[in-house]
Amino acid sequence: MNPIEEHEERGKQRIAFLCEVYKRTEGNTSKAIPYDEIANSLNFADETIEQIYYYFLHDGYIFEVPPMFVEITSPEGRGSENRKSMYGKAIAITQKGIEMAKQLCH
């Protein structure tokens, strides 16, 4: 692949990543999603995903949030509680990321 093709491919991968984050967060800056969900859905090499992630993190399009824990109780308030957790990196989109995604994602 020549340098121009490589640059174009990297651009397409970045757009795909941002659009995936935008879609999964539903354009809501307070909604976080696991990094692994994005990585698994895009089918890029791990190194490529990491590079894209840090590119958008550094430029302020996404931000990393700490892992979250959510407790789920039955409607009656009885029974055992389920604890759902998110491990590893979690990603949220910034307003800057939303604005860019609205331009790029169809």
Q: Give the domain ranges of the chain.
A: 3-104
pTM: 0.80
To 5 degrees, how large is the angle CA 74–CA 90–CA 65?
100
Instruction: Identify the band that residue 1 occupies on the pLDDT scale cut at 50, 70 and 90.
Output: confident
pLDDT at 80 (0 to 100): 52
Q: What is the predicted pLDDT for the residue at 79?
A: 52
pLDDT, position 95: 97
- What pLDDT is attached to residue 89? 83
Per-residue pLDDT tens digits for 48-106: 999 999 999 999 999 999 876 555 455 565 555 554 555 678 999 999 999 999 999 97
Question: CA angle, 45 as apex, 39 and 6 as ends, to 5°?
Answer: 120
Q: 33 forms bridges with which residues in the sheet?
A: 91
Distance separating alpha carbons of residues 22 and 37, to the nearest angstrom: 13
pLDDT digits (tens, 9 = 90+) for 29-49: 999 999 999 999 998 999 999
Class of domain 3-104: mainly alpha
- Residue 45 CA to residue 28 CA, distance in Å, equals 27
